[in-house]
Chains A and B, each alone.
Chain A
Amino acid sequence: MSRVQGAIDKSQVLMLYRNLLKAGNKFADYNFREYAVRITKEDFRNNQNDTDGKAVEKNYQYGLDQLQLMRRQSTINQMYAQKMSFMDPRVSDDIRKKDEMSVGSRTNEEDDEH
């Protein structure tokens, strides 16, 4: 990364990057988690050669706001999470096999309510 001018230095940017990834990884939902990590990496990669102090400052501020948002939303996401996605890497192979076998969750004859 080239030298950042203005008030924001490289270590602050790196810290923000790490914190964003950490917050993104706290989503209970597999898809939100993967998305948060993907776009954080993408954004930082795209902006890593920014030398314009104003732009760096603006992006830094944007990143800080996103960090707050991700912390709030990942907390809420955890509070209401009920099941993990089948694709979630934290789901064991055994559970995955079992779920692939389980059929009949679409039609349930014992339930006469609709």
Chain B
Amino acid sequence: MMKRLITPLTRVTLRSLYSTAQVQSKVVQFTEPRAPEVYKNSESSTKAIYFDLGATTPVDPRVLDRMLPLYTDMYGNPHSRTHEYGWNSEAQVEEARRHVADLIGCTSKEIVFTSGATESNNTAIKGVARFYKKKKNHIITTQTEHKCVLDSCRHLEDEGFTITYLPVKQNGLIDLDLLEQEITDKTLLVSVMAVNNEIGVLQPLKDIGQLCRKRGVLFHTDAAQAVGKIPVNVDDMCIDLLSISGHKLYGPKGIGALYVRKNKPRVRLAPIINGGGQEGGRRSGTVPSPLVVGLGEACRVAKQDLERDAKYVKELSKYMIEGFRSRLDHVILNGDEEQRYPGIVNISFAYVEGESLLMALNTVALSSGSACTSASLEPSYVLRALGVSEDLAHTSLRFGIGRFTTKKEVDYVLDKCSFEVERLREMSPLYEMVKEGIDLSEVKWEHH
């Protein structure tokens, strides 16, 4: 009953994709036999331009190159003590740990490998809360955190903890005075993310860290979208716990790390996964050496190229934002203009339904919010926390820009998206009224 919608790309069909001028070019010769087909429900012959880097990043070839030997050759369990398979794997894991530590300015012993930022956040928040619960029972976080932080906090509420969900200002940043007011002598932990995954704003980590240090409160930051893209140093920023995700910095999925401060203060946590006592008892389970090596290499490359990547992403981002502003009216950049990681650009195209725009942009891979919330039609809770109206929140798209994005891709998305926005606006009665100079906020609607 399932109709096969795709014809596997054979050499012949691939050839027919080449524009005639380049048919003779020997740039690519796909080797036979063909690899297993991965496209399931696809009608297009090409893959969409990837602008969803906030959801996940491609694996850098340098990363894959380091990982492959651990799948094909050196498959030992890094905890095996009796043979070379194990020793080699362990040595690779420890080298990777150093690369992760170097990127954020800590020591290897302070890095715990996890399955991703979700687990790191769970371990940090629940682990610290449960370890110190006899002394303190109050945690402060923000309304714009990733779901895994918010949900961990909800579970702690059931366990008797008090949680403060700090509001954010219209620019998406927290109010430091408000944070200071909320800290009491029962406050154990402040958890504020570094870069927001939906709008890209960068919280003032150093100010938060210094405040927490002064008040004797632990500071955790979910830096999944920040590490490897902007400079992060746990000592400069007074960070006590920090979450990293492999697949946001051109590493593999299913791997992450948690930084846990060892000195001044020494942070303790009750592990949420119990077992063989790996990772110093902080996270049991066989360490997935190929993934860890991938994360390590991703961190090494990120550190080596941080300046180059940051400059490149910043330029493209500026080019994109200015491009939309010059082509269209009523485009709103969500989140602070300056205090941001430029690789996440969240824009509201007023009077256009975001979902319709997404449909029209079928040659571009994009999302209307974060990957985990885009399945629902509810407007993003992050945008609502900024006070963005529901109407406007529904018109927003999130563009991700990274080291593999090209200027040509940005040019294409600027033209295509602007064209579709104008087309959809032509069909919108609201936009018609705006063009006629009617102030929509003054209009009295019959029904609501």
What is the chain A residue whose CB lies nearest that of B31?
Answer: A79
What is the chain B residue whose CB lies nearest that of A94?
Answer: B19
Q: Could you give, for residues 25-60 of chain A, a 1 whenever the CB lies within 8 Å of some chain B CB and a 0 otherwise?
A: 111101110110001001000000000000000000
**B50 cross-chain contacts in A, Cβ below 8 A:** 31, 85
Q: Does B405 contact A (CB under 8 A)?
A: yes
- Check A82–B39 contact: CB distance below 8 A: yes
**B65 cross-chain contacts in A, Cβ below 8 A:** 69, 72-73
What is the chain A residue whose CB lies nearest that of B305?
Answer: A39
Measured as residues with beta carbon below 8 angstroms from the partner, the interface class of chain A is 35 or more
With A106-B359, A113-B2 as known contacts, state yes or no: A87 contacts B406, CB within 8 Å: yes
Query: In A69-114, which residues have CB < 8 Å from any B CB?
Result: 69-70, 72-93, 95-96, 98-100, 102-106, 108, 110-113
- Check B308–A106 contact: CB distance below 8 A: no
**B35 cross-chain contacts in A, Cβ below 8 A:** 79-82
Query: In B1-30, which residues have CB < 8 Å from any A CB?
Result: 1-3, 5, 9, 14, 16-20, 22, 25, 27-30
Q: How far is the CA of A39 from the CA of B40 in the complex (A)?
A: 34
A70's partner among B16, B22, B61, B308 (CB-CB below 8 A) is B61
- Check B19–A83 contact: CB distance below 8 A: no
Q: Does B49 contact A (CB under 8 A)?
A: yes
Q: Is the interface of B mostly helix, strand, loop or mixed?
A: loop
- Check B30–A81 contact: CB distance below 8 A: yes
With A79-B35, A85-B49, A110-B2 as known contacts, state yes or no: A69 contacts B412, CB within 8 Å: no
With A76-B64, A86-B363, A87-B409 as known contacts, state yes or no: A108 contacts B46, CB within 8 Å: no
**A87 cross-chain contacts in B, Cβ below 8 A:** 49, 406, 408-409, 412
**B29 cross-chain contacts in A, Cβ below 8 A:** 78
**B404 cross-chain contacts in A, Cβ below 8 A:** 31-32, 34-35
- Check A25–B27 contact: CB distance below 8 A: yes
- Check A99–B27 contact: CB distance below 8 A: no
B378 to chain A, nearest CB (A): 19
- Check B362–A100 contact: CB distance below 8 A: yes
A105's partner among B37, B43, B49 (CB-CB below 8 A) is B43
- Check B406–A42 contact: CB distance below 8 A: no
What is the chain B residue whose CB lies nearest that of A77?
Answer: B61
Q: How far is the CA of A84 from the CA of B28 in the complex (A)?
A: 11
A98's partner among B45, B48, B308, B406 (CB-CB below 8 A) is B45
- Check B45–A83 contact: CB distance below 8 A: yes
**B308 cross-chain contacts in A, Cβ below 8 A:** 39, 42
- Check A86–B30 contact: CB distance below 8 A: no
**B25 cross-chain contacts in A, Cβ below 8 A:** 90
What is the chain A residue whose CB lies nearest that of B22?
Answer: A90
**A25 cross-chain contacts in B, Cβ below 8 A:** 27
- Check B61–A84 contact: CB distance below 8 A: no
With A34-B406, A100-B363, A108-B5 as known contacts, state yes or no: A73 contacts B61, CB within 8 Å: yes
Best-surrounded residue of A39, A73, A86, A91 (most CB of chain B within 10 A): A86
A84's partner among B2, B38, B46 (CB-CB below 8 A) is B46
A19 to chain B, nearest CB (A): 15
A95 to chain B, nearest CB (A): 5
What is the chain B residue whose CB lies nearest that of A104?
Answer: B43
**B44 cross-chain contacts in A, Cβ below 8 A:** 83, 86, 99, 102, 105
Q: Does B47 contact A (CB under 8 A)?
A: yes
- Check B46–A86 contact: CB distance below 8 A: yes
- Check A99–B363 contact: CB distance below 8 A: yes
Query: In B320-342, which residues have CB < 8 Å from any A CB?
Result: none
- Check A111–B9 contact: CB distance below 8 A: no
Best-surrounded residue of B17, B22, B68 (most CB of chain A within 10 A): B17
- Check B61–A91 contact: CB distance below 8 A: no
Best-surrounded residue of B42, B62, B363 (most CB of chain A within 10 A): B363
Q: Jot down 6 A-B pairs with beta carbons below 8 A, ordered by A.
A: A73-B62, A82-B35, A91-B19, A91-B46, A108-B5, A111-B2
Instruction: Add 20 more A-B contacts to A79-B31, A99-B45, A102-B43 (CB < 8 A).
Output: A26-B27, A31-B406, A32-B404, A42-B308, A76-B68, A77-B61, A83-B42, A85-B46, A86-B44, A86-B46, A87-B412, A89-B19, A89-B22, A90-B18, A90-B28, A92-B20, A95-B46, A99-B44, A104-B43, A112-B2
